[in-house]
Amino acid sequence: MTDKLYYAGPGISLKFLSSFMHCRKFAAVIITCLVSISTIAQVSWYKCFSGKIDKYDVTIHLHKRAHQYTGYYYYNSTQQPISFIGEDSTTQDTVKLIAFIPAKQTEENFTFSINGNSCTGKWTNSSGKTLNFSANEITPTPGWDYVFTKGSIQLRPKLKNSPVGGYEAAAVWPEGDAAQTFFLKKKINEWYAKDSSTTDIEQLFLKRKQQFFDGYLSDNKNVADSELVNAYSFNMEEIQTINIAYQSTQLLTLANASYSYSGGAHGNYATSYVSIDMVTNKKLSLDDILSTTGKNQLRRLLEKYFRKEYNLRQDEALTEGGLFENKIEPNKNFFVTGKCVGFCFAPYEIGPYALGEIVIFIPLNELKDYLQTNFKNLLTIY
């Protein structure tokens, strides 16, 4: 059994050494980046970069776990988070972040070097267009560490091709001891421990990993060795990451991406979100954001922006775009930024697995007449 815990962040010492991290695709969207980075020796960190692609302002939330990278970026004009993945093992001292937007069949690519707190390079897209790119690291409040663990166990160690159970977890973890820090720790821990504790995240990681290993061995203890030879379906995997998708001084959105495989043709994945009022330290509900009249507009607006994203004409049924039904109801898996509200639908929720995870963004300008006063005060655009 391999069993490792990693804990590192900007400005803190490394508690445990790292090993190579296999790259897992959670995102429905891609950005491709080649990054020559001087801090590559650090095992894990979270960094936020603010910069420009030509004249277009962008923000990148980048999370590093050994050789693996995940995170979000957005154009500041819309603040619609786009998820990405990546790795730094293909080319020495470079990072390659990979993504894809299924609805539009497009890619974006960044190639840049990091020198101290700044980076410069090039941006290209699927059409071959190239623009200059530059950005500077910014320090958010609160500061964040990035903690992760990875381990695996063989179901039958004596078998040459034994099935394997693999577990991986990662999360941003706020620094300091302010009241806001304790509140954020509770929100993060709720995703792992289902309770509001401030227990250090690494303790929860190790507990969950051991529970996963124990359950994997127990569930398969009566399976004969003869059934396990080259039996891929007996492999099992669980991965969960909590990353920052958006952050301002007033708002924070965290993304909890999970993947599991327990046999069958493919694994299952989903991303859940939580948005937090950083002024009052409160998890935001739809009632905190919109009036009743505003909430009644959501079904119409979800349909409008699904059609726009998937190039579906007004006279075409939503089922022509791949949905199960000719309607989209708002769910509880929503998030906000300073300029949009997004609704995320897991595979099979409103469409088939092949359609992937569906994220629909509604610009807040469409809802400006229905925003609750306290929420409106959090937005820098008003």
Fold for the domain defined by 1-283:
Heat Shock Protein 90 (3.30.565)
What is the secondary structure of 130-166 as a DSSP string? EEEEEEEEE--SS-EEEEEEEEEEESSTTSTT--EEE
Local structure of residue 90 (DSSP, 8 states) = S
Q: Which is nearest to 86 in space by CA: 64, 101, 68?
A: 68
The CATH number of domain 288-376 is 3.30.360.10: no
Per-residue pLDDT tens digits for 322-340: 999 999 999 999 999 999 9
Burial status of residue 201 (CB atoms within 10 A of its CB: 0-12, 13-18, 19 or more)? buried
Per-residue pLDDT tens digits for 25-64: 333 333 333 333 333 345 889 999 999 999 999 999 999 9
All CATH 3.30.565.40 domain ranges in the chain, comma separated = 1-283
For residue 298 the two structure tokens come to 């959501």
Burial status of residue 66 (CB atoms within 10 A of its CB: 0-12, 13-18, 19 or more)? buried
Of 293 and 8, the one with more pLDDT: 293
- From 196-205, 233-242, 335-344, the region with the lowest mean pLDDT: 196-205
State the residue for tokens 């894809």.
100
Per-residue pLDDT tens digits for 269-312: 999 999 999 999 999 999 999 999 999 999 999 999 999 999 99
End-to-end CA distance of the chain: give it in Å, rounded.
Answer: 54
Confidence at residue 41, expressed as pLDDT on a 0 to 100 scale: 42
pLDDT, averaged across the chain:
86
Q: Which residues contact 200 (CB under 8 A, 6 or more apart)?
A: none
Per-residue pLDDT tens digits for 73-129: 999 999 999 999 888 888 777 777 877 877 777 888 887 777 778 887 878 888 889
CB 82 within 8 A of CB 61: no
Cα 196 from chain centre: 22
Secondary structure (3-state) at 352:
coil
In the chain, the amino acid numbered 101 is: I
All CATH 3.90.640.20 domain ranges in the chain, comma separated = 288-376
Confidence at residue 182, expressed as pLDDT on a 0 to 100 scale: 93
Q: Which is nearest to 56 in space by CA: 97, 1, 113, 110?
A: 110
Rounded to whole angstroms, what are the CA distances from 107 to 81, 99, 102?
15, 7, 9
**Per DSSP, what are the bridge partners of residue 63?**
46, 70
Rounded to whole angstroms, what are the CA distances from 166 to 68, 212, 229, 371?
16, 9, 18, 44
Of 114 and 160, the one with more pLDDT: 160
Of 97 and 181, the one with more pLDDT: 181
Per the confidence metrics, is the pTM higher than 0.85?
yes
Rounded to whole angstroms, what are the CA distances from 162 to 31, 153, 159, 214, 236?
36, 10, 5, 16, 12
Strands 2-8 and 358-363: unpaired
pLDDT exceeds 70 at position 185: yes
